[in-house]
Amino acid sequence: MKELELKYGCNPNQKPARIFMTEGELPVTVLNGKPGYINFMDALNSWQLVKALKRATGLCAAASFKHVSPAGAALGLPLSQVERSIYFVEDGLSPLACAYARARGADRLCSYGDWAALSDVCDEDTANLLKPEVSDGVIAPGYTPEALEILKSKRKGGYNVVQIDPDYTPKPVEQRDIFGIRFQQGYNDFPILPELLDNIVTQARDLPDAARRDLLVALITLKYTQSNSVCYVKDGQTIGVGAGQQSRIHCTRLAGNKADTWWLRQHPKVLGLQFVENIRRPDRDNAIDIYISDEHDDILADGVWQQTFRVKPQVLTAEEKKQWVAQLTGISVGSDAFFPFGDNVERARKSGVCYIAQPGGSIRDDNVIQTCDKYGIVMAFTGMRLFHH
């Protein structure tokens, strides 16, 4: 098949809409549902991300995409008991299911209504994880019969399931139209591999294997994130993605705030929240987010908390949050372009950042390096910008 007609483009008034090939066959097959224009944009970008993660690490990977940027991306590493609790999953999941639990769990609010991408054949465990979540669709190189049956039953039989040829390689030159004008550029096939992190420019030079892996996760995620972007990673998964900001420091703050929220979800007070029976998953996730925030009174006011909790929770105070966040450490950060000032490092270290990878090349590189040295942070210059628009 060379062409697939779509209902409409980004918005209902944008017609006609289709995906097509000028040469050869489409590398995707719709196994269920009717994916739209934005669905395919998310699907094809997220597929490139998980494919690159597996290439760089040898581990299966998953991503949770919204509006052409990842809400989360992760490798298929085992989940701790606390991680299972904050992601609301059971023990004994397959590596691929663990990867999606991590990707979806990185930022559950932003993952609401996501597009999922899987680097490997979707198995039954992963399909069962996807089934109860609010999600628009999934792309993978294949599906077991059991997984496909589960996914076809989702959304009253309308869930979007797309299979992609894992051997498909795009043309070396890509094109797009903006305002009726044709743009052309080389496809960004630059490989992000461990040797990209060899140019360490700080006094601290010890880059453990786990941190090197996490920096690769950050950089690969950034390659498929709307720029400007900064990504925080821990234990093989993104914990904060700051996408599409005009200012680098705003990227760093946004991603850092998300990383802090991810960590605060592991606070004993949050783990001890007692929800009412049969609470909807989105309502539960939203309640946790509000409880952690400065707007906690919106969920804890008399006459309101009873709608969500069986027992009224104690407030998680500002001091308790500060003390808990101060315990976060071992975080890796990547940036898709250079840090122009040391303020980005100052903000990053407040969220436990110990390792940084960025292109370098700012006229103030010396200030950024000095700021890292001030806190004993290891920083590598990759020499490679990763803008994506």
Question: Across residues 193-218, what is the average pLDDT?
Answer: 97
Provide the pLDDT for residue 238: 98
pLDDT tens across 253-285, in order? 999 999 999 999 999 999 999 999 999 999 999
What band does 59 get if pLDDT is binned at 50, 70 and 90? very high
pLDDT given for residue 90 in this prediction: 93
pLDDT given for residue 100 in this prediction = 98
**Residue 198 — pLDDT band, cuts 50, 70, 90?**
very high
Closest by CA position to 233, among listed 75, 10, 22: 75
Query: So which residues are the catalytic ones?
Result: 66-67, 228, 389
Which pLDDT band holds residue 1 (cuts at 50, 70, 90)?
Answer: confident
pLDDT in tens, 299-340: 999 999 999 999 999 999 999 999 999 999 999 999 999 999
The yes-or-no verdict on residue 16 having pLDDT over 90 is yes
Whether this model's pTM surpasses 0.75 = yes
pLDDT of the residue at 191: 92
Supply the mean pLDDT for the chain. Answer: 96
> What's residue 176's pLDDT?
93
Question: Could you read off the pLDDT of 86-134 as tens digits, one per residue?
Answer: 999 999 999 999 999 999 999 999 999 999 999 999 999 999 999 999 9
What is the per-residue pLDDT for 328?
97
The per-residue pLDDT for range 141-188, each reduced to its tens digit, is 999 999 999 999 999 999 999 999 999 999 999 999 999 999 999 999
Percent of the chain with pLDDT strictly greater than 90: 99
Q: What pLDDT band is residue 361 in, cutting at 50, 70 and 90? A: very high
Per-residue CA distances from 194 to 62, 75, 182, 371, 372 (Å): 20, 16, 36, 24, 21
Q: What is the mean pLDDT of residues 29-48?
A: 97
